[in-house]
Amino acid sequence: MGFINFTVEPHFNIKNDEVLQDLIEYSKDLDIYALEDDAYIIIKNNVIKFMGNIYRIYNGKIKKL
């Protein structure tokens, strides 16, 4: 079993400002991928594939993938 070097936040809602602000703060120490409902990540042979609405939150910034 392999491990990943990021954290996943499932059922993410970009409109939930309280959660978003917490994640932005945590992202100063962690690389976070926030997945809206019905989004998913597949990792196969060290290749990462993102499907659906996913946001990367890293170093205090947020970017939609």
pLDDT of residue 46: 85
What residue type is assigned to position 26 of the chain? Answer: Y
pLDDT of residue 1: 55
Tell me the DSSP string of 1-65.
Answer: ----SSEEE-S--TT-HHHHHHHHHHTTTS-EEEE-TT-EEEEETTEEEEESSEEEEETTEEEE-
Percent of the chain exceeding pLDDT 70 equals 97
pLDDT in tens, 13-63: 999 999 999 999 999 999 999 999 999 999 998 899 999 999 999 999 999
**Mean pLDDT, the chain, integer:** 94
Give me the residue spans of the domains in the chain: 7-64
